[in-house]
Homo-oligomer: A and B are copies of this chain.
Amino acid sequence: MVPMSKLNPSELGVFQSIPATKHVEPAIATDPAAFEAVVRSRRSTRVFDDTPVPELVMRQCLELATLAPNSSNLQCWEFYWVRDESKKKELVKYCLGQPAAATAQELIVCVARLDTWRRNSRLLLEQLESQQSGAPASMLHYHRKIVPLAYGQGPFNLLGPLKKLAMAILGLTRVTPRGPAGKSDMRVWAHKTTALACENLMLSLRAFGFDSCPMEGMDERRIQKLLGLPRTAEVCMVVSAGKRATHGIYTKQFRLDKSLFVFEV
């Protein structure tokens, strides 16, 4: 934890300064109405018909999923497209046999990894260093020095409470980032990033003319065993895909009044 405190305030400069970069990526023209149609027509579909989802569409949607923003670009997600018939049958059972799974053409287990960030940070550094990427020094510094400090929780997450305490003390007198500190924070962190990708996945399916349903009601342990995953690979959600059956969406979309959720302050 000592190095963490050293981050304040000198290392904060890494975050506050604008580096000199050469990359230019102009914003391309987009079609807001076409986008809005995708968002508005995406409904959680409980019953699918028999129309298959083309392989290429599935692969395309999975690729678009991984273009979601993610925490420190550590890409702590995994997507298991379960194609094997017997595995799929098991998976339907583990999704409590709900029609959204049982009638689905395809099922994707979306996984939040608590344990791949070190590997991914290392691989990312190799890319950034080797490919004349034009990455600013601060980005390299971030992956070399700050990522291990920020995300490391020590053996058995023992550093978690210490980090929390240190940040609470520092936080008494100065602006201090508060996490992730401990296993609960790391879980939140990994699921958050994975959910961003899940939303891309579901919207992509809709954009390509298909429907989806995100499922959280499932037997996570049995799914982990089915896929040979460790406990550090948590199931964020299972996403089913197919074309909506005539009565596959049970009701119109219900949202509570927006004054409960959106505040201008």
Give A contacts to B, CB under 8 Å. 12, 15-25, 27-32, 34-44, 46-47, 59, 62-64, 66-69, 71, 73, 75, 77-84, 87, 93-94, 96-99, 102, 116, 120, 123-124, 127-128, 133-136, 139, 171, 175-179, 183-184, 187-189, 191-196, 198-200, 202-204, 206-209, 211, 214, 216-222, 227, 234, 236-237, 243-244, 246-247, 249-256, 258, 260-265
Q: A195 is contacted by which of B199, B222, B249 (Cβ under 8 Å)?
A: B199
Decide if A27 touches B188 in the complex (CB within 8 Å): no
A175 nearest in chain B by CB position: B219
Main secondary structure, interface of A, reads mixed
Are A263 and B96 CB-contacts (below 8 A) given A171-B221, A187-B188, A220-B178? Answer: no
Q: Could you show 13 A-B contacts with beta carbons less than 8 Å apart?
A: A15-B217, A16-B97, A24-B247, A25-B252, A27-B41, A32-B208, A63-B262, A73-B254, A77-B261, A84-B265, A175-B222, A191-B195, A199-B199
Closest CB in chain B relative to A76 CB, distance in Å: 10
Residues of the B chain whose Cβ atoms lie less than 8 Å from the Cβ of A175: 93-94, 96, 219, 222
Contact A192 B236 (CB under 8 A): yes
CB pair A82 B265 closer than 8 Å? yes
Cross-chain contact of A81 among B44, B208, B262 (Cβ < 8 A): B262
Specify the chain B residue showing the minimal Cβ separation from A8: B96
**Are B188 and A227 interface neighbours, CB within 8 A?**
no
| Closest beta carbon of chain B to A148's beta carbon, Å | 15
Contacting pair B208 A177 (CB below 8 A): no
Can you add 14 more A-B contacts, CB < 8 Å, to A12-B97, A81-B265?
A27-B41, A30-B37, A30-B38, A35-B204, A36-B207, A44-B69, A66-B262, A120-B260, A124-B254, A128-B251, A133-B252, A177-B218, A177-B219, A191-B191
Give CA–CA (A27, B245) in the complex, Å: 10
- A35–B203 CB distance below 8 A: yes
Task: Please name all residues of chain B whose beta carbon is closer than 8 Å to the beta carbon of A211 when the two chains form the complex.
Answer: 27
B207 x A252 contact (CB < 8 A)? no
CA distance A202 to B197 in the complex (A): 12
A21: chain B residues within 8 A (beta carbon): 247, 250-251
A244 touching B27 by the CB < 8 A rule?
yes
Task: Output the residue of A34, A222, A261 with the most chain B CB within 10 A.
Answer: A261
- Alpha-carbon separation in the docked complex, A41 to B207 (Å): 16
